């Protein structure tokens, strides 16, 4: 654990690591205070596309944590960056929350429900049958299908809830097209995260609650990995994966208290 504590930087997932819904997880306040006191570089890298960095800053502030918005990078921002690099000035039909819509707008991507270049799907509380029908029609007509992340489920305040992959699956099946997923474990998002962190991979660690996104993303990017058992993956689930995290902890509060 001393080697982990001596890392210069940490990339942390949020859902299941920092909070469940609007409830802060045990030990998080101590962990964030420790990183700030020890002048660690840290970045919250989340597959959720619902919120902007500013909204995440205020979300944590309501829970008692003071974290500048520069410490957040989301799959919505990664998706907007990808579309802008692929086709500057493109348009998209979007199923998603304001965090995704705002990221696309800021990247110069117009919303289009007539003949979009892309159909983009993220998490949203307004998911409905009509939006699925529209998305399928656009993909049939040639729009490229993009999803913000591969998460099938996410930890909610009252238990496991559906996430992006569950939302995009009906569109993939009906349109007979596979989505391209932007978020973790896509190396595009991880490389950007490391660049924003400003720390070499050998001196950084990836902290997450999912073996299939966080841990594999960290391993493939050359980071030490920390699986926390406060979210989706349970200890008994490890037998289902051919790879292992560097550390297994109950929660992030175990790091400063080791």
Residues designated as active site: 13, 15
Distance CA 96, CA 49 (A): 8
Cβ distance 182 to 146 under 8 Å? yes
Cβ distance 97 to 121 under 8 Å? no
Q: How far is CA 3 from the centre of its chain?
A: 26
Q: How far is CA 8 from the centre of its chain?
A: 22
* CA neighbor of 155 nearest in space, from 228, 58, 56: 228
- Could you give the count of Cα atoms lying within 13 Å of 210 in the half-sphere of its Cβ? 22
What does DSSP assign to residue 213? I
Distance CA 43, CA 51 (A): 15
Strand partners, 145: 119
Distance CA 148, CA 180 (A): 8
**Pairing relation of β-strands 9-12 and 72-74?**
unpaired
Strand partners, 155: 160
Q: How far is CA 55 from the centre of its chain?
A: 15
């Amino acid at each position: 654990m001393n080697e982990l504590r001596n890392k210069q930087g940490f990339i942390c997932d949020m859902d299941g690591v920092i909070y469940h819904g609007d409830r802060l997880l045990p030990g998080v306040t101590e962990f964030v205070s420790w990183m700030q006191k020890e002048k660690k570089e840290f970045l919250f890298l989340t597959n959720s596309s619902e919120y902007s960095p500013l909204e995440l800053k205020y979300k944590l502030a309501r829970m008692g944590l003071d974290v500048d918005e520069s410490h957040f990078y989301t799959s919505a921002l990664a998706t907007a960056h990808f579309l802008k690099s692929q086709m500057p000035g493109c348009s998209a039909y979007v199923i998603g929350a304001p965090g995704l819509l705002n990221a696309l707008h800021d990247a110069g991507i117009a919303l289009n429900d007539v003949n979009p270049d892309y159909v983009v799907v993220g998490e949203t509380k307004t998911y409905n049958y009509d939006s699925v029908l529209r998305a399928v029609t656009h993909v049939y007509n040639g729009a490229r299908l993009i999803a913000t992340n591969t998460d099938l489920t996410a930890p909610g305040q009252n238990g496991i809830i559906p996430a992006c992959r569950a939302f995009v699956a009906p569109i993939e099946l009906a349109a007979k097209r596979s989505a391209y997923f932007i978020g973790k474990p896509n190396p595009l998002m991880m490389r950007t995260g490391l660049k924003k962190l400003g720390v070499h991979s050998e001196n950084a660690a990836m902290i997450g609650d999912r073996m299939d996104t966080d841990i594999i993303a960290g391993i493939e990017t050359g980071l030490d990995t920390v699986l926390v058992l406060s979210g989706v993956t349970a200890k008994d689930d490890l037998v289902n994966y051919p790879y292992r995290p560097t550390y297994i902890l109950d929660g992030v509060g175990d790091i400063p208290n080791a």
